[in-house]
Structure 1
């Protein structure tokens, strides 16, 4: 059985829309767990009333993304899940999303799978996976590399984000859960999928499965738009900071090939220190 785990904190309208899109899937062979990390907008009460099929777990407001996801994964595994999907609440699933993810999951039962992301306002592809060079610190965006006729099926990638990430249960048995101690919010998904790949689990982006997302609503985009010294500090040191130097250091030490670590760290620090003002 597939279990879908969705961590939430407020933004009830997004959660409703996401869960409604799951109700409209072409197949219903899955169950959903929402981890409500201390929402103050009535999320838990509304979900109990409007989505009784959804199991809601309660956090204390200090879980953030990684610990919230891990709480849901633990419950899913207790229920006997053979696959878990992590999903953000600010996405809309195409009606055939789950069906198309499971189609390839059955063909490649040990693979971790992500999905093609489309801008919810324009329906244009905005994220289709990437291949990363640890040496040059450059990302090769598959949307720029693949020809239109190649944008179907599976394509190998270096890592995947957690918004729509399908994970076989045996991956957790092999490498454990997401690293909530060292990566409480950002980079935990890239770290997890990178570690899984190094342990022999294939990591693919699935161009047949589509998610609608709201790129302008991400925490990183909001922070960068409202540039300030406080925002710069939060960018580099805050738990939700997209350029958090501590998180980046942990990610680099865990995943970068050892001979390249010094160069990778210097490159990465420089990008984070100046990147806030360039975007």
Structure 2
């Protein structure tokens, strides 16, 4: 049985749209667990009223993404899940999203799969995976290198984000859950999929499965939209900071090939210290 785990904190309109899209799936054989981490906008009550088929796990308000996802995963594993799909609440699944994810999961039963992401407004592809070089600290964006006629099926990548990540239960049995102690919010998904790949689990983007996303709603985009010294501090040191230096250090030490660690850290620190003001 597939379990879909969605961590939420407020933003009920997004959660409602996401869950409605799951109700419209052509493959309905799955269960949904929403981890409500102390929402103050009535999310918990609305979930129980409007979506009685959804299991709600209440958080403390201090779980953030990683511990929230882990709480849902633990509940799913206790109920016999054989696959788990982590999903953000600010996404809308295409009607055949689950069907196409499960189709390829059965063909590649050990693989972690992520979808092709489309902009919810324009329906244009915005994320199709990347291949990362630890030596040059550079990313090869598959959307920029794949010819249009090859944008189907599975394509190998270095890591995947957690907003639509399908994980076979064997991965948890081998490497455990997401690293909530060292990576409480950002980079936990990239870390988890990188560790899984090194343990022999393939990591693919599934170009046949589509997920509508709102790129402008990410925490990093909102922080950069209103630049300030306080925002810069949060960017580098806040739990939700996209450039959090502590998180980046943990990620590098866990995943970068040992001989490349010093250069990789210096390069990464420089990018995070300057990138907040340089990138639009």
CA distance in 2, matches of 1:197, 1:242: 23
Residue 69 of structure 1 deviates from its aligned partner by: 0.1
Deviation sequence 1:6-52 (CA, Å, 0-9, x none): 00000000000000000000011100000000000000100101000
Indicate the residue corresponding to 2:139 in structure 1. Answer: 139
Question: In 2, Cα distance between the equivalents of 1:161 and 1:97?
Answer: 16
Work out the CA distance in 2 between the residues paired with 1:185 and 1:119.
23
Local SS of the residue matching 1:180: coil
Partner in structure 2 of residue 101 of structure 1: 101
- In the other structure, the counterpart of 2:33 is 33
- Provide the rounded CA distance (Å) in 1 between the counterparts of 2:104 and 2:225: 38
- The question of 1:19 aligning with 2:58 is answered no
CA distance in structure 2 between the partners assigned to 1:59 and 1:26 by the alignment: 31
Compute the displacement of 1:179 (Å). 0.1
The residue number in structure 2 matching 1:242 is 242
Unaligned runs of 5+ in 1: none
**Given the two structures, how large is their TM-score scaled by the length of structure 2?**
0.99
2:189 is paired with a residue of what secondary structure? helix
Query: 1:154: which partner in 2?
Result: 154
Determine helix, strand or coil for the equivalent of 2:136: coil
Structure 1 match to 2:262: 262
Which consecutive aligned stretches of 4+ in structure 1 deviate over 4 angstroms post-superposition?
A: none
Question: Could you tell me how far apart the structure 1 residues matched to 2:11 and 2:144 are?
Answer: 32
Aligned partners of 1:9 and 1:158: how far apart in 2?
Answer: 29
Instruction: Kindly indicate whether residue 39 of structure 2 is the aligned counterpart of residue 42 of structure 1.
Output: no
- For the aligned residue pairs, the C-alpha RMSD in angstroms reads 0.3
Q: Paired residue for 1:72?
A: 72
Tell me, in whole angstroms, the C-alpha distance in 2 between the residues paired with 1:28 and 1:232: 44
> Which residue matches 1:184?
184
- Say which SS state the counterpart of residue 74 (structure 2) adopts: helix
* TM-score normalised by L of structure 1: 1.00
The number of aligned residues is: 279
Please name the residue that 1:229 is paired with.
Answer: 229
- Using the TM superposition, give the Cα deviation of residue 102 of structure 1 relative to its aligned residue in structure 2, in angstroms: 0.2
CA distance in 2, matches of 1:114, 1:252: 22
- Secondary structure at the aligned position of 1:38 is classed as coil
Q: Which residue is 2:113 aligned to?
A: 113
| SS at structure 2 position matched to 1:162 | coil
Q: In structure 2, what is the equivalent of residue 217 of structure 1?
A: 217
